[in-house]
Amino acid sequence: MKVVIAGGSGALGRKVTKDLVDSGHDVVVLTRSPGSVRYGLQCREASLREVRWDGETLGDWARELEPTPHGTAVINLAGKLVDCRPTVRNIAALRDSRVNATRVLVEASRSASAPVARWVQASTTAIWSDAGEERVTESTPIPADGLPQMTGVAQPWEEAVQDAHTEYLSILRTSIVLGADFPAMDRLFFLAKLGLGGKVAHGRQWVSWIHLDDWLAIVRAGLGIEPGVDLPAGVVIGAAPEPVRNAELMSTIRRASGMPVGLPTPSPVLRLGAIMLRTDPALGLTGRHCTSEVLAETGFTFDYPTVGQAVGTTS
C-alpha cells in the first residue's frame, strides 16, 4: 500500500512512518522541511519519500493522493503541539494548524481521479474536555461547553475531514501515548527521578492512555492491514481498556523508576509551574475515563492492557 502521511515528522508520525516502511509499504511524508528528520528505518530508504507542502495550499504534492494498484491511503496527524499556554492566540494556532491542513488534504482528495482507499484521521480524547467520573465511549456526546483548547480544537478538526473523498474514514481519538523513548513517558520518568513523581492536585482525575505499540496496531487496522482485525469506519477511541487515576499512574511511574516516594503537586503549584514552563495546567488537572466499545466489538487484543505493563512494572 502507498500511505501518504501528513504530520509524519512529529513524534507519532515518525513512529508510524518507521512501522509502515519497515513492513514493506511505500510511504510519502508531507513535510515543510524535507530531510530534517531521521526515521530510524531498518529497510531500504527507497520506500520512503518526503514531499514538501505548507499544510495550507494545494500544490504538486496533491498528486500523491492519486490511486495506485495496491491502494492509496492517508494518515493525517498534522497539527501544532498542544504543550502551550491556553491563550486566545495559541488556541487559534492549535485549531487552525489542524483544520487548515485537514481542509487542504480533503481538497486534494476531491481533485484526485478516484477516492482514497483508506483515511485515518487523528483526533484526541480531549474532545470531551474534563469528563469527571463519566465513563466515556465512542457514543458519548461531545460537550457543548467544553474547554476551548480541547473541545474547541478537536471538534472543528474532526468536522473538517467529513467531506474527504475516501472509501473509508476512521477518526482516531487518541489518549496519552506511552512507550519507551516517547515524550509523555520521558517527561513522567524525568519528574519521578527528580523526586516530583507524586499525585497531581487531588490525584483522582482519570488518565486514559495507550501504549505506542497498540496505537500503531490500531492505525494499521484503520489502513486494513492488521491481520484479524476488521475495524469499521467512524470514530474509534485509541485508549487501553484500563484507565487509571492520576495517583495510580504516578505511583506506577515511581516504581518503574526506582523512586519510593515523590512529592505531590498541589493545584496552585501546578498553575504557577505551568506559567513558568509556558504550558497548560488543564493538561494535568482535567481527566477522562475513555474506553473503546468499537475495538472490543472487533476483537482487538491489546498487547499492553494495563499501565504496569506499559511502563514495565509488570509482565
pLDDT tens, residue by residue, 250-307: 999 999 999 989 999 999 999 999 999 899 999 999 999 999 999 999 999 999 999 9
Cell of 195: 523526586
**Section 179-206 average pLDDT:** 91
Which amino acid type is present at position 104?
V
> Which among 2, 14, 118 has a CA at the least distance from the CA of 64?
2
CB neighbours of 249 closer than 8 A, spacing ≥ 6? Answer: 188, 207, 209, 307
**Section 85-90 average pLDDT:** 97
Which amino acid type is present at position 248?
E
Whether residue 249 is contained in a domain is answered as no
Please determine, for residue 228, whether its predicted confidence score (pLDDT) is greater than 60.
yes
Q: What is the pLDDT of residue 45?
A: 55
Residues of the domain holding 45: 2-178+210-241
The pLDDT confidence band at residue 126, using thresholds 50, 70 and 90, is very high
| Neighbour count for residue 137 (Cβ, 10 Å) | 16
Whether residue 14 is contained in a domain is answered as yes
Q: Give CA 192 to chain center in angstroms.
A: 24
Residue-wise pLDDT for 42-54, tens only, equals 655 558 999 999 9
Residue-wise pLDDT for 107-122, tens only, equals 999 999 999 999 999 9
Instruction: Give the β-pairing of 26-31 and 2-6.
Output: parallel
Q: How far is CA 214 from CA 10, 45, 152, in A?
A: 18, 25, 27
Q: What is the pLDDT of residue 183?
A: 84
DSSP string, 211-280: EHHHHHHHHHHHTT-STT--PPSEEEEE--S--EEHHHHHHHHHHHHT-S----B-HHHHHHHHHHHT--
Whether residue 138 is contained in a domain is answered as yes
Whether residue 150 is contained in a domain is answered as yes
Whether residue 22 is contained in a domain is answered as yes
Q: How far is CA 79 from CA 82, 102, 213, in A?
A: 9, 9, 22
Whether residue 32 is contained in a domain is answered as yes
CATH number at residue 230: 3.40.50.720
Whether residue 188 is contained in a domain is answered as no
The rounded percent of the chain whose pLDDT value lies above 70 is: 98
Query: 0.85 exceeded by the pTM?
Result: yes
Whether residue 117 is contained in a domain is answered as yes
Alpha helices in the chain (DSSP H): 11-22, 88-111, 151-159, 183-193, 212-222, 246-257, 267-277, 282-285, 293-298, 307-311
Please determine, for residue 26, whether its predicted confidence score (pLDDT) is greater than 60.
yes
How many separate domains does the chain show?
1
Cell of 20: 509502515
Alpha helices in 131-182 (DSSP H): 151-159
Q: Is 185 helix (H, G, I), strand (E, B) or coil?
A: helix
